[in-house]
Structure 1
């Protein structure tokens, strides 16, 4: 790495970040210093971070499952807890699966699954044009298509009933709770990526109904949800003919649900 040509005041920088509520102020300081090419650029980055902009939007990338994923302004930042969703999906995928990543955001899940699964077909889809553009930047080099549209709507119809795995990190925050999210999410990420309707399950109900048609017999759906919503979601999945299993990781404070279409 080329050394910086300026000498930042690290203690002062860490102090500003910590005062602004940045829990990992020391780590953030080093990342911002590395991203800045001058004292002026660093001052601008720090000012915007202190004002509440997500660190990942300032850097232009997020670390997810050991990979660096490009993240554009306004696009949902992949969360560390979603590593459980990816792991749960990979565990049920089977050999050389046909995989669809719905509500893909930056395409982070598809990017990781591409390396873990060696799928025979892999695609991603999202409703938000900004997310689609970002996901294409991450996935185009791998030859993974990214479709723009509502859930399964833009996916080629030839895959209806033939998918082995559908992964969806769909929005599941109840509408009334969106206002209580951290400002980084509430103010700087697209509402469509956060708001899951009255009980948080509005989009996931539609994902479940679609998966029942698009999965091959024996195929699996894998989604992320809160711990308190898992039982209600399992009932939704059972109602559309899928067999659900809840996966929990207390260390990540994460809950995922996989659901199999009977063979």
Structure 2
């Protein structure tokens, strides 16, 4: 409804968002205007955003790897840094590969991989019913399937020893650090998708420990972590027998640990 919104209204929205602490108030105002169905709808969306709701919840989608990923309240919002994880997985994936996205949240990683690589067999899973419902809207359009359950328990047994690419953006925020996150994350996003335990690596350990049983020979496990946690994550990978490396992108402040399964369990 851009054509029907005057400059005064846009200025009002920008000022309201800026006073609420939105760093990119001008850009967000334009997005809200473009997504609103009516002036009433626009003002309602502005109020939600000013109250601290993540922009992605307000408009119903997040931009990720060139895709519009549908999101809803209660699902983890895909971070731009996670595009680096997608890039790393994309470089390793081949046509026909079985690709699994654990802790899939909205399904953004799997959807982006399927969009980029085309002919892969994509399976995603999450323990949260809200995430599963949301992921199905994003993943099935690329021919993927979504399972609900706790990590590997969600996967069919036939996958054991056959997964070529296993990606996981696991929760990795230490429990006590959650209170230091931006307000919109700690108030509105599910703590289940953020809380990685005392050192932030509890879920990572569980994923890595079982990975050799699920990966095909030569298969790869890729997990996003923080730069600070990378050395300990590297040790967890190598202790389980994976050939491991750490890759990092400074611009995105993104760190990914990659482990390759070079032998049978």
TM-score range, shorter chain: over 0.9
Runs of 4+ with >6 A deviation: none
Q: Is the 8 A contact 2:96 2:120 kept in 1?
A: yes
In 2, the alpha carbon distance for the partners of 1:51 and 1:3 equals 23
1:119 Cα deviation after fit: 4.0
What are the within-5 Å matches in structure 2 for residues 4-153 of structure 1? 4-7=3-6, 9-153=9-153
Alpha carbons 2:94, 2:120 under 8 Å: kept: no
Matched residues in 1 for 2:81 and 2:100: separation? Answer: 20
Partners of 1:115 and 1:205 in 2: CA distance = 29
1:114 to partner: Cα distance: 0.5
Q: Secondary structure at the match of 1:62?
A: strand
Superposed CA deviations along residues 176-216 of structure 1, whole A, max 9, x for unmatched, are: 00111111111111111000000000000001012111001
Q: Secondary structure at the match of 1:228?
A: coil
Deviation at 1:4, TM superposition (A): 4.7
Give the secondary-structure state (helix, strand or coil) at the position aligned to 1:101.
Answer: strand
The offset of 1:143, in angstroms, is 2.3
In the alignment, is the contact (CA less than 8 A) between 1:5 and 1:38 conserved in 2? Answer: no
Structure 1 match to 2:180 = 180
Shifted more, 245-254 versus 3-12: the winner is 3-12
| 8 Å CA contact retained: 2:32, 2:46 | yes
Q: Distance in 2 between matches of 1:134 and 1:109?
A: 13
The corresponding residue for 2:234 is: 234
CA contact (8 A) 1:164 1:220 kept: yes
Deviation for aligned residue 1:115: 1.8
TM-score (norm. length: structure 1)? 0.96
Q: What's the secondary structure of 1:105's corresponding residue?
A: coil
RMSD of equivalent CA atoms? 1.3
Deviation at 1:219, TM superposition (A): 0.4
TM-score w.r.t. structure 2 length?
A: 0.95
Q: Which residue is 2:214 aligned to?
A: 214
| Distance of 1:51 and 1:206 partners within structure 2 | 37
| Structure 2 portions without partners, runs of 5+ | none
Instruction: Determine the C-alpha separation between the residues in 1 that align with 2:142 and 2:166.
Output: 19
Match of 1:259 in 2: 259
Cα displacement (A) at 1:3: 5.2
- 1:35 to partner: Cα distance: 1.6
